[in-house]
Amino acid sequence: MIGTRLPNKRQVCAFTLGDHLFGIDVNYIQEVFRFQECTPLPLTPPFVKGLLNLRGKIVLAIGLRERLGMAERPSGKSPTSIVVQIDDGALCFLVDELFDIMSLDSADFETIPKTLSATEKKFVSGCYKLEDRLLILLDTVGVADIAKSLGLALEESQARSKYRETITVSELA
């Protein structure tokens, strides 16, 4: 039966970023598709890749590599787009490759280690022990919450602008 959840199982959309395996709960997934070009947005942090037109709906695209502090994707390799639906609307997460939709046993779930920093704890809700690797389960809402980063980028831009104005005015004097 489609959409039926087995007891003690969690369905996760697994994807790769570099050599690492990450996942998000399928309940957030709206759709997955091949990458399409984004329209860049000025004055945004590097992880904001731009806007996508998704069948008439404008969606913000976030590069998960950059959002999670990882190295940029090698050039020439197009990302995969995972559109997620959260309370505030839809967002597009750009990942390296879709790995699988997995049904994971709750017995294999581990909470996040207490040794993680506050920033890491904001994005990670736990991990699953798989046969040959770990799957890091992301907190979709935490990753999608970019308001603070956007505010800081805007403040930084305004500060640079005021600095340039100060230099220009002092050169005229």
Q: What is the pLDDT of residue 29?
A: 95
The count of other CB atoms within 10 Å of the CB of residue 156 is: 12
Q: Is residue 93 part of a domain?
A: yes
Tell me how far apart the alpha carbons of residues 169 and 65 are, in angstroms, rounded to a whole number. Answer: 40
Q: Is residue 114 part of a domain?
A: yes
- Is 26:13 a contact under the CB 8 Å cutoff? yes
Task: Tokens for 172, please give them.
Answer: 């005229």
- Number of domains into which the chain is organized: 1
- Closest-CA residue to 50 (of 91, 8, 95, 105): 91
Q: Is residue 165 part of a domain?
A: no
Q: Is residue 173 part of a domain?
A: no
Q: Is residue 38 part of a domain?
A: yes
Q: What is the CATH number of the domain that holds 89?
A: 2.40.50.180
Note down pLDDT in tens along the chain; length 173 residues. 455 555 688 999 999 999 999 999 999 999 999 988 999 998 888 999 999 999 899 999 999 999 988 888 888 889 999 999 988 789 999 999 999 999 999 889 998 878 877 777 789 999 999 998 999 999 999 898 887 666 555 566 556 665 555 555 555 55
Q: Is residue 1 part of a domain?
A: no
Q: Is residue 102 part of a domain?
A: yes
Placement of tokens 């959309």 in the chain: 13
Domain of 137 in residue numbering reads as 9-146
Q: Is residue 170 part of a domain?
A: no
pTM: 0.80
